[in-house]
Amino acid sequence: MARLVLKFGGTSVADLDRIRNVARHVKREVEAGHQVAVVVSAMAGQTNKLVEFCREAAPLHDAREYDAVVASGEQVTSGLLAIVLQEMGVNARSWQGWQVPIKTDENHGAARIREIDGSFLTERLEQGQVAVLAGFQGISPDNRIATLGRGGSDTSAVAIAAAVKADRCDIYTDVDGVYTTDPRIVPRAQRLERVSFEEMLEMASLGAKVLQVRSVEMAMVHNVRTFVRSSFDDPDAPQAGEDGLPIGTLICDEEELVEQQVVTGIAYAKDEAQISLRDVADKPGVAESVFGPLADSHINVDMIVQNISPDGKTTDITFTVPEGDFERAKKVLHDNREDIGFQNVEGATDVVKVSVIGIGMRSHAGVAAQCFRGLASKGINIRAITTSEIKISVLIDSAYAELAVRTLHSLYGLDG
């Protein structure tokens, strides 16, 4: 017997037929003797509708009331799934985030989980009851519902798995695992059997949409073994591969990986924007004067390139921000122009970040040189580069995105 947390996303619970299919997955695990908690998202498209209602009601709405509205989608799904499970003869009860309670910070709309007391849920599970939990939400210090931001149900599921000391957390989604790259771009992309927390964190933050970044962070911190599985598989079909593990991708500690490839996958992110500050005074503190105000405005900066002028008096600073923050970032810079001391701002949104990821890169030389050589052979110019122990990211013109992904996928032997 194991203790499992199962998470089902919006497409998996899109309508009552899909919810009934989810219930069959849950019932299968219960009949196998497992203790089961389920975390659900809102039905596909419902959160978008609720967000739009808020915007139509008032463009500058109260974030606390926004949370009260958008959290209702998960409440509906959890209640419906509990009803369907009960109809199937499964002892189930739905719970909202505030009832657990999942305690968050005060940042409404994008709250972070501070604490979950797992004793209440553990007691229910030990009594043989399936706990169906509304994902994406918790309760803030002001005793209000707080939502965790888009993709927050993944984070809810991993946090709950950690709180109840689950044996694993199964994330059911509309794909059957994590692939070496986007199969829509590279049809020969391969499903990964296992991937380390670190690699998945890089892949999620660099464009892979399978898991939300914060959920991977939490899984890594609490060492929650996480599976990515397809909810569209027949619940009655064989659920385990040759190794006895579910069919999908296991995200786990690096020590569980039997064989470490040099490169695990290629990720890409189209929602990037490039900003360049020209003729900035080259003096101590100038970087803080640029990036301090951006940080205060909660704008994430990624790639940073600084070029010194021949006379050593001025510098050009180029960096990237999420495309959604492009205009806001430029305004912040203009508002602080006097302190920064730049001549002008240039920007571009027709860029894409392509990344090569793999823990095997730590012990292999020449991976970056291969990347640059391969892109050059296709006539692809690199605007900026950033690296870490297990990744190389390059910023290129968006017109070359698919060519770059296909080129690098083949170059590192990832084609099936």
Residue partners of 387: CB distance under 8 A and separation at least 6: 368, 393
326 labelled as ligand-binding? no
209 labelled as ligand-binding? yes
Give the burial class of 31: count Cβ atoms within 10 A of its Cβ; 0-12 exposed, 13-18 middle, 19 or more buried.
exposed
7 labelled as ligand-binding? yes
283 labelled as ligand-binding? no
174 labelled as ligand-binding? yes
173 labelled as ligand-binding? yes
Report residue 84 as tokens. 């369907």
Report residue 283 as tokens. 């003096």
Q: How far apart are CA 68 and CA 275, in angstroms?
A: 36
Element (H, E) at 158: helix 152-163
Spatial contact of 205 and 213, defined as CB atoms under 8 Å apart: yes
Strand ranges (E), 55-126: 92-95, 102-104, 113-116
104 labelled as ligand-binding? no
249 labelled as ligand-binding? no
270 labelled as ligand-binding? no
Which DSSP state fits 240? B
CB atoms within 10 A of CB 68: 17
**Bridge partners (DSSP) listed for residue 322:** 272
CB atoms within 10 A of CB 286: 20
268 labelled as ligand-binding? no
Q: How far apart are CA 353 and CA 345, in angstroms?
A: 21
- Residue list for the binding site: 7-10, 47, 74, 173-174, 179, 184, 209-210
- Residue list for the binding site for substrate: 47, 74
- Residue list for the binding site for ATP: 7-10, 173-174, 179, 184, 209-210
